[in-house]
Amino acid sequence: MARYTGPKNRLARREGLDLGLKTIGSKSHASLLRRLNIPPGQHGARGKRKQSDYGLQLREKQKVKRIYGVLERQFRRYFEHARKWRGNTGEKLLEFLERRLDNTVFRAGLAPTRASARQLISHGHVLVNGKKVTIPSYSVTAESVISLKSKALEIPAVKKMIDEKTFTPPEWISRQGPVGKVDRVPVRTDVKEDITEQFIVEHYSR
């Protein structure tokens, strides 16, 4: 399974946005927030140039890819799949990304980041409707029940997430202890990140 293995703070600084790649409250997350407005690289502190329309579209595509941890080939497949459906292509694209199992585990508060959710899944710690699923891109549906194996509940980061009393899952997910349920398919208003999906549609439609 191809994935990005480089420095995550660099990705967030390139987009000038906290992409949710680091555990909130960690030292690395605090360091990121201090330097978020400084682009990476030797000349990052010199400021940003005014971007062209193409540049804005490209940056939006890159930002969304990095938020969800998807590489170009797979992201393009999601877009082409979304384009075949009736309605708004950009909104459908975000729906497909939200329905990824790794994102759903993260949204349900069963893992601190999408990367850690992917690791849980690939190591066989996640069950969907009682069956082990090891594919992070697996697409959940309404009424899917997601749970963790007992061994995963012993992982400190997971235990901390489950014990967090102030956590509130998104409206399309409900959670009771270490078990989450997809109550309905996510819609555009469920995505709270600052995303302009029309830029992505325009980028691939060039």
- What per-residue confidence (pLDDT) applies to 50? 76
Considering the domain architecture, whether residues 86 and 161 belong to the same structural domain is answered as: no
Q: Are 9 and 22 a contacting pair, CB within 8 Å? A: yes
Give the CATH number of the domain where residue 76 resides. Answer: 1.10.1050.10
**Do 107 and 33 have their domain in common?**
no
pLDDT digit string (tens) for 65-75? Answer: 999 999 999 99
Q: Indicate whether 14 belongs to any domain.
A: yes
Task: Report pLDDT for 165.
Answer: 87
Within 13 Å, how many C-alpha atoms sit on residue 14's CB side? 18
Position 37 scores a pLDDT of 57
Coil vs helix vs strand at 71: coil
Same-domain status, 109 and 91 = no
Same-domain check for residues 132 and 164:
yes
Q: Is 164 exposed, middle or buried (0-12, 13-18, 19+ CB in 10 A)?
A: exposed
pLDDT of residue 23: 55
User: Is residue 177 situated within a structural domain?
Assistant: yes
CB 16, CB 59: distance < 8 Å? no
Domain assignment present for 157: yes
Statement to judge: residues 80 and 44 lie in one domain:
yes
Each residue's pLDDT, cut to its tens digit, for the chain (206 residues) gives: 455 565 555 555 555 555 665 555 555 555 545 555 556 555 555 555 678 999 999 999 999 999 999 999 999 999 999 999 999 999 999 999 999 999 999 999 999 999 999 999 999 999 999 999 999 999 999 999 999 999 999 999 999 999 988 899 999 999 999 999 999 999 999 999 999 999 999 999 98
Give a yes or no: residue 179 inside a domain: yes
Say yes or no: 14 and 38 in one domain: yes
Whether residues 88 and 113 share a domain: the answer is no
Domain of 109, in residue numbers? 100-185
Please indicate, yes or no, whether residues 54 and 124 belong to a single structural domain of this protein.
no
Tokens of 157: 């980061």
- Considering all CA atoms of the chain, what is the largest pairwise distance in Å, rounded to the nearest integer? 53
Q: Is 40 a domain residue?
A: yes
**Domain total of the chain:** 2
For the full predicted model, state whether its pTM sits above 0.85.
no
Are 74 and 106 found together in one domain? no
In a domain, 2, yes or no: no
With respect to residue 126, please indicate whether it lies within any of the assigned structural domains. yes
